Amino acid sequence: MVIKNSVLLHENDNVVTVIRDITAGEEVCYEKGGAVKKVTATESIPLGHKVALSEIREGIKVIKYDAVIGCAKKDIKVGDLVHVNNLESIRGRGDLNTSN
């Protein structure tokens, strides 16, 4: 039996949120479409933080809750921590035109 240690909030998300601290090299397990899926953490991931489920190229949107939460500031690999070092938020940014 695989114990899930992360949550996929919506089927369209490209990140999951971990529900406990994850160590580098550990499998991040989540459920999608009734099946348990896994990616390997490339670094330590603190409780409550996001992990990339797919490669996210610089400038590509990061999706959580089936909503854009930001854009990749640099290439993000599968299993990487997604946080302020590689994610630029677009929420509440009055300097950006988000109508496009």
Work out the angle at residue 75's Cα, subtended by the Cα atoms of residues 69 and 78, and round it to the nearest 5 degrees.
80
CATH class of 6-89: mainly beta
pLDDT at residue 97 in the model = 57
Strand-strand pairing, 15-18 and 81-82: unpaired
Domain boundaries in the chain? 6-89
Work out the angle at residue 28's Cα, subtended by the Cα atoms of residues 76 and 68, and round it to the nearest 5 degrees.
45
Quote the pTM value. 0.88
pLDDT at residue 100 in the model = 46
pLDDT digits (tens, 9 = 90+) for 13-72: 999 999 999 999 999 999 999 999 999 999 999 999 999 999 999 999 999 999 999 999
